[in-house]
Amino acid sequence: MEKKVFSIQGEELKTLTLADEVFNREVNEGAIYYAICNELANCRVGTASTKTRAEVKGTSRKPWKQKGTGRARAGRRRSPLWVGGGVVFGPRPRDYSYSVPKKLKQLALKSILSLRAKDDRLKIVEDFSIDSGKTKDLVAILKRLSCTGRTVIVLKDDDRMIKRAGANLPLVRFLAYNRLRAHDLFYGRSVLVLESAVVKLNEFYGDKKTEASA
């Protein structure tokens, strides 16, 4: 599969041959579903908590005698039937995270990359950095590349300056080639992949290496 490489000015520079195993394979919707569910579950904090009748503050004394008052029987004010009493079967702190097979996660990521490449929402751009670290410089580049809405930028290395420039952009996400997230890739309106990151993606997820042609 071949894709055009664009400059940060939005001009076509050359063509890259992408590994079909990574960017042109059959999309597995089931793998994508399970990978996204796994990521969302792993993000859950799980700190919701309620107090049982044994934990709420209050006396254990019987509020009135059992018989002779004409009122319903009551054992203690901490009963769940009372206002301010304990909660029955309420949420308790728990860990929602779980693991999925590594091959399933890789299959999901390759399926999403193939899906984005087929619907022309994946764009390869020449390697660039923002030495100034200013947000306006990154916004100008994204505008020239016609990237609007949720945008995912796949990097080769941990470029601190480009991440600094995008820190104030809530709809921009930065991912390393070896630490992709299925949720961000799937819901990203535009996926920008640096030229060096494409080579690493081919090596990391496939067997073929990228070949460049003028």
Q: For the chain, give every domain's residue range.
A: 2-44+101-213, 45-95
Q: What pLDDT, on the 0 to 100 scale, is given for residue 64?
A: 94
Give me the pLDDT at residue 120, please: 86
Q: Average pLDDT over the chain, rounded to whole?
A: 90
Backbone angles phi, psi at 212, to 5 degrees: -100, 140
Q: How confident is the model at residue 186 (pLDDT cuts 50, 70, 90)?
A: very high
Q: For residue 59, what pLDDT band results from cuts at 50, 70 and 90?
A: confident
Provide the whole-model pTM.
Answer: 0.82
* Whole-number pLDDT of residue 207: 61
Identify residue 15 by its one-letter amino acid code.
T
And the tokens for 98?
């779980």
State mean pLDDT over 171-179.
93
At 67, the amino acid letter reads K
Confidence tier at 206 by pLDDT (50, 70, 90): confident
pLDDT at residue 119 greater than cutoff 80 = yes
First and final C-alpha spacing in the chain: 16
DSSP labels, the chain: -EEEEE-TTS-EEEEEEPPHHHHSS---HHHHHHHHHHHHHHH---------TTTSSS--S-SS-SSSSSSPP---TTSTTSTT---TT------------HHHHHHHHHHHHHHHHHTT-EEEE-----TT--HHHHHHHHHHTT--SSEEEEESS--HHHHHHTTT-TTEEEEETTS--HHHHHH-SEEEEEHHHHHHHHHHH-SPPPEEE-
Reply yes or no on whether the pLDDT at 213 is more than 70: no
Q: How many CB atoms lie within 10 A of CB 179?
A: 9
What is the C-alpha separation between 23 and 109, in angstroms, rounded?
10
Range 2-44+101-213 has CATH code 3.40.1370.10: yes
pLDDT over 50 (residue 81):
yes
Q: What is the pLDDT of residue 156?
A: 87
Rounded Cα gap, residues 112 and 187, in angstroms: 10
- How confident is residue 46, by pLDDT bands cut at 50, 70 and 90? very high
Q: In the prediction, which pLDDT does 98 show?
A: 95
CA 63 remoteness from chain centre: 53
At residue 88, the pLDDT reads 95
The pLDDT-based confidence of 139 (bands split at 50, 70, 90) is very high
pLDDT surpasses 90 at 13: no
Residue 18 has pLDDT above 80, yes or no: yes
